Structure 1
Amino acid sequence: MFRKTAGEVLIDLLIEWGVDHIYGMPGDSINSIIEPLRKARDKIKFIQVRHEEAGALAAASYAKLTGKIGVCMAIAGPGAIHLLNGLYDAKLDKVPVLAITGQVESDLLGTDFFQEVNLERMFDDVAVYNQRVMSAEQLPAVVNQAIREAYTKKGVSVLTIPDDIPKFEVESEARVTSSFFVMPEIFPREFDLEKARILLNEAKKPVILAGKGAHGIRESLLSFADKLAAPIVLTLPGKGVIPDEHPLCLGGLGLIGTKPSYEAMKEADTLIMIGTSFPFTGFLPTGAKTVHIDTDPSQIGKRYPVDVGLAGDAGKTLEWLTNRIHAHEDRSFLEHNQHRMQQWWRRLEQQEAEEATPIKPQQLIRELQKVVHDDAVLSVDVGNVTVWMARHFRMTNQQFIISSWLATLGCGLPGAIAAKIAYPNKQVLAVCGDGGFGMTMNDFVTAVKYNLPITVIVLNNHKIAMIKFEQEVMGNVEFGTDLVNPNFAQYAEACGGIGYRVEHPAELLPTLEKAVTRNKPCIVDVLVDANEAPMPAKITFGQAAGYARHMIKELFEEGKIDLPL
């Protein structure tokens, strides 16, 4: 009777779990897994990346977009080490990812053999489940448990497999477990719901802060907010929960947010936090009564004092509250903030209309808005580009992904690759700064190799511009922020894709219109103004004073003013 090897069983189990692709780079310590993967290529694809970091970032992005587990693979030693950045992105953004890494053969462990690294210790902090496979018989149960824990704990599972294990046959007495997981339906206690109902009925100036956990409950959220007469503020991971131009929306909060959201928070007497553990508590109200809704009880009250905690599904919890709270007839607070928001949009429109060379980033985002489909996927990198997209791009029904808690440069391109694999019929764009794109740009050839027609917009200012601004706000002269970039359009052509370079405002819209219709991977290299500071919506005295000190230092160092005698 034919028995399968552990490597073949591993691939069969991944397919059984619904995994249809893996990101990775082949190598000696995983070749005994690569071979059964090759044989099953009609059911599960191997996406060869040029750097394992990009593979892990793509796996994390796939999980963020779909809710399905993202899978990446690497060899022992250097390959496994390269995975860490993407795995930490998955950990901090709480999405299910499985990392499969090779290891030296079992009888060589502990001998300081070539490429031997203590992977269990290395992955210990990043993983919710972290196991070395000890035998072929053990492998099926461990694979099922790894995937189950990644899903149920919303985190990273790591399987380290010594090179000899996948070659052994799995004996008939191997442990057999189930390839599925179940999730509980979580609903708050009635005692807590009643406390929240009473508190909300007494609210005079309520504000809602909606985060990642509010995705997928748009109608429930809008019904609740309308009955409460409460404006809705969005965290960065919550962007897209409701349309940015919806009458109840005040945009984002914090340094990348809007002035109306800052002012509404300052005046609020009641705060309702939904699916967020917002870290920048200095932007939250002082002394407001607070209701916090989250499926994870450990997040409630984690960073900010809470009066009522509701541990449960956000949609069902909001429906219960909406059906039981009084309709708030005094809508003056909401209407006042809506008026502020209208003024804010007019202010942004003035900034976006300014034509200049180098191009203003705000104008680029305005023109980009005109070519983006309503159901497009936007993979946004980290840096100033985050500010411009968060503040100026008006989301409707698009999906927006970013490295929100780790905030790692280089996430934009791998996210777009994952998005096109997840949704081959949707328009997919990566919006990157030159610093972020430079981190993972070698994997543009991955998009070319697998014919993934993504459009990459590069805001090219030859600077790590956000760090330049941070240094200036501290009152320092910028240092170490200059970048020497290639012509990214020519780079796209060299890789086998399509490249456009935009240097003047009039070229923007026609170029973007062409780029998004090409059926090949494309880079649009846009030269933008490095001196356009991503000023926060509300500037503190300390920030203004720091920037003034910086300008004085610049003038002194350049010899443009003299010191007094």
Structure 2
Amino acid sequence: MAETVGDYVLQRLREWGVQQVFAYPGDGINGIVTAFGRAGDDPHFIQARHEEMSAFQAVGYAKFSGRVGVCMATSGPGAIHLLNGLYDAKLDHVPVVAIVGQTERSAMGGAYQQEVDLQALFKDVAGDYLVEVNVPEQLPNAIDRAFRTAMSRRAPTAVIIPSDVQEEAYTPPAHAFKQVPSSPPGLTRPAAVPSAPDLRRAAEVINAGSRVAILVGQGARAAAAEVQQVAEATGAGVAKALLGKDVLSDDLPYVTGVIGLLGTRPSYELMRDCDTLLIVGSNFPYSQFLPEFGKARAVQIDLDGSMIGMRYPTEVNLVGDAAATLRALLPLLTGTPAKAWREKIEAGVAGWWRTMEQQSMVNADPVNPMRVVWELSERIPHDAIVTADSGSAANWYARLLRVRGEIRGSLSGTLASMGPAVPYAIGAKFAHPDRPAVAITGDGAMQMNGMAELLTIARYAHRWADPRCVVCVLHNNDLNQVTWELRAMGGAPKFEESQQLPDVSYADIARAMGLDAITVRSPDELGPAWDRALGAGRPTVIDVYCDPEVPPIPPHVTLEQASSRLRAVLKGDPGGLHLVVQGAKTKLREVLPGQDR
């Protein structure tokens, strides 16, 4: 049989080093699905329960592997379902390639079944590179450009292949007019370094500071050693944007933790009191958590010149690779480290971790959700990969998970979509099948799509050298983050018709799907539950019944937020008295450390 376009697509994916494609079948990609069969499932076809989950799995794989994630879907509804995961990739700057089917060319424009204008649909989300392949000769160039663009621009790209094209015999492009060949797969990215004059200007700004702060994002992940050297040379404290939470270990005494609404008080104070700010690989959007405009001099380093100088009036913008730029900058840093500044930072960090432990141990009804993550931090393997969902789960992940060793972690940072924690963990397991993964999710996200993906975990766990994949559900029967936003931002009481969730046992569902499962209804059961799950040698769901009224209090509560919460109580919030009591008990741990619980 002559090699088809579908066969060639898989061959080119193999040449790019692709080992799995996260996908869901449909007749719009039948020509490629049958090619998987002829290829002996190489690359592996990883079947999710929904195309959106395929896209999230590809994003999770890309985030934790550093390689391109590949997802695939059929035409029409399948293609539409990919969009949310692809937007997650776009907003978090993650390389993903989507391969999408389309109706046959002869039917296009004829209002045919499942015909959607895919080029219009994907124009925004995959705008860096979007192509429809209408003749076999367009391959391999289309696939190669999709990969190279995804890698170089850290963005999702899409290749649309009509179903009849997939089944045609593949013929390579010729050395002919209006035919476009391609080179073998591969891409080498230069370690770009700014000019010497720009580096000297940056050093002058940093050397002049006596209270230096560093903010790192995910773009600093490959520059962790260099960031530490700069911090030591300047006496700086280091705060982390949410997507950069795993860049530096929280065991370093000058690392203040995450910044922003989900952040820590030491990070808030670091930004409030510094006179010099160095931003490395971050596009942190909330400028109110950065130094007051005009109060601090600032330098920024980023690989993407279009994303630099956007959030703060920086004096010097260095466009270049973070690690290479910091290495070139280090010899120019001649200032004396500010001992008193560093000591103040370290004291604040040490005090904050004590406060977090005390707040986690505050009694709640039935379990304090803060303690869930605190107990995990006490025993998590140092090579674990942690994923978190949007919602209140993100608060506890951001503030309480103590990153150390080789721990990696991520969530839907910029899109803040519900539902990626479980598919991210699945993608992580295919990126690192020899490492344990932990997904921290709320019951809202679990009901939205996490429960179905437990089937995917059960199906593929035998392929992972370390089958530990732990899904921890914060079970409070409430869409908790939105409830708190209604209270704190709108002064509105909880509207139970929109916020309450139907009660279900996630442990029972997990057991029915063939997974291990643990139900936790008491705080004393948390530690043993984590010990059992992390030692089980198989996928496990921990179903923790949590108190919905433990407040995700920001590091600096404004008068407006406090007033809004009070108005919500006065308007008859159904959990009013309990939320006031829990909020007071939690906040008191900051001002009365060590007091009785």
Task: Report if TM-score (shorter chain) is over 0.5.
Answer: yes
**CA deviation after TM superposition for structure 1 residue 365, in Å:** 1.2
Mapping for residues 325-340 of structure 1, pairs under 5 Å: 325-340=333-348
Task: Please tell me whether residue 177 in structure 1 is matched to residue 193 in structure 2.
Answer: no
Match of 1:304 among 312, 318, 326: 312
Partner of 1:502: 520
**Most deviating of 420-429 and 333-342:** 333-342
**CA deviation after TM superposition for structure 1 residue 355, in Å:** 4.2
Give the partner amino acid of 1:144. Answer: D
Question: SS of the residue aligned with 1:409?
Answer: coil
Question: SS of the residue aligned with 1:347?
Answer: helix
Task: Please tell me whether residue 250 in structure 1 is matched to residue 266 in structure 2.
Answer: no
Partner of 2:72: 73
Match of 2:299 among 266, 286, 291: 291
**Any conservation in 2 of the 1:355–1:363 contact (CA below 8 Å)?**
no
| CA deviation vs aligned residue, 1:366-404 (integer Å, no higher than 9, x gap) | 211233100100011111111111101110020001111
Task: Please tell me whether residue 430 in structure 1 is matched to residue 432 in structure 2.
Answer: no
**Any conservation in 1 of the 2:28–2:102 contact (CA below 8 Å)?**
yes
Partner of 2:150: 150
Mapping for residues 3-152 of structure 1, pairs under 5 Å: 3-41=2-40, 43-127=42-126, 128-152=128-152
Question: SS of the residue aligned with 2:189?
Answer: coil
Match of 1:465 among 473, 476, 480: 480
**Most deviating of 131-140 and 73-82:** 131-140
Partner of 1:404: 413
Equivalenced residue count is 559
Give the partner amino acid of 1:491. Answer: I
**CA deviation after TM superposition for structure 1 residue 122, in Å:** 0.2
Partner of 1:481: 499
Q: 1:218 to 1:171 in 2, by over 3 A?
A: closer
Match of 2:235 among 221, 229, 232: 229
Give the partner amino acid of 1:458. Answer: V
Distance 2:487 2:37 in 1: 53
Distance 1:553 1:118 in 2: 48
Distance 2:194 2:540 in 1: 48
**Any conservation in 2 of the 1:250–1:258 contact (CA below 8 Å)?**
yes
**Most deviating of 487-496 and 343-352:** 343-352
Q: 1:108 to 1:515 in 2, by over 3 A?
A: same
Partner of 2:162: 162
Match of 2:460 among 446, 450, 461: 450
Any stretches of 5+ residues in structure 2 without a counterpart? 175-179, 578-597
**Any conservation in 2 of the 1:358–1:528 contact (CA below 8 Å)?**
yes
**CA deviation after TM superposition for structure 1 residue 77, in Å:** 0.5
Cα RMSD (Å): 1.8
**Any conservation in 2 of the 1:214–1:241 contact (CA below 8 Å)?**
yes
**Any conservation in 2 of the 1:24–1:47 contact (CA below 8 Å)?**
yes
Q: 1:216 to 1:465 in 2, by over 3 A?
A: same
| CA deviation vs aligned residue, 1:330-372 (integer Å, no higher than 9, x gap) | 3211211221222212211211223444100111112112331
Question: SS of the residue aligned with 1:548?
Answer: helix
Q: 1:180 to 1:413 in 2, by over 3 A?
A: same
**Any conservation in 1 of the 2:243–2:413 contact (CA below 8 Å)?**
yes
**Most deviating of 525-534 and 253-262:** 253-262
| CA deviation vs aligned residue, 1:180-215 (integer Å, no higher than 9, x gap) | 223232111111111111111110111111111111
| CA deviation vs aligned residue, 1:107-126 (integer Å, no higher than 9, x gap) | 00000000000011000000
Q: 1:173 to 1:342 in 2, by over 3 A?
A: closer
**Any conservation in 1 of the 2:518–2:541 contact (CA below 8 Å)?**
yes
Partner of 1:415: 424
**Any conservation in 1 of the 2:65–2:428 contact (CA below 8 Å)?**
no
Partner of 1:562: none
Distance 2:157 2:575 in 1: 52
TM-score, normalization: structure 1? 0.96
Task: Please tell me whether residue 545 in structure 1 is matched to residue 563 in structure 2.
Answer: yes
Question: SS of the residue aligned with 1:515?
Answer: helix
Mapping for residues 249-268 of structure 1, pairs under 5 Å: 249-268=255-274
**CA deviation after TM superposition for structure 1 residue 518, in Å:** 2.4
Distance 2:565 2:140 in 1: 59
Question: SS of the residue aligned with 2:53?
Answer: helix
Q: 1:285 to 1:11 in 2, by over 3 A?
A: same
Structure 1 runs (4+) greater than 4 angstroms displaced: 172-175, 555-559
**CA deviation after TM superposition for structure 1 residue 172, in Å:** 5.1
Mapping for residues 198-217 of structure 1, pairs under 5 Å: 198-217=204-223
Give the partner amino acid of 1:156. Answer: P
**CA deviation after TM superposition for structure 1 residue 557, in Å:** 11
Question: SS of the residue aligned with 2:151?
Answer: helix
**CA deviation after TM superposition for structure 1 residue 218, in Å:** 1.8
Distance 1:340 1:251 in 2: 11
| CA deviation vs aligned residue, 1:411-451 (integer Å, no higher than 9, x gap) | 00001101111111101111111112222221110111112
Task: Please tell me whether residue 525 in structure 1 is matched to residue 533 in structure 2.
Answer: no
**Any conservation in 2 of the 1:256–1:536 contact (CA below 8 Å)?**
yes
Distance 1:555 1:282 in 2: 29
**CA deviation after TM superposition for structure 1 residue 497, in Å:** 1.4
Question: SS of the residue aligned with 1:208?
Answer: strand
Distance 2:214 2:299 in 1: 9
**Any conservation in 2 of the 1:384–1:466 contact (CA below 8 Å)?**
yes
Partner of 1:491: 509
Task: Please tell me whether residue 364 in structure 1 is matched to residue 372 in structure 2.
Answer: yes
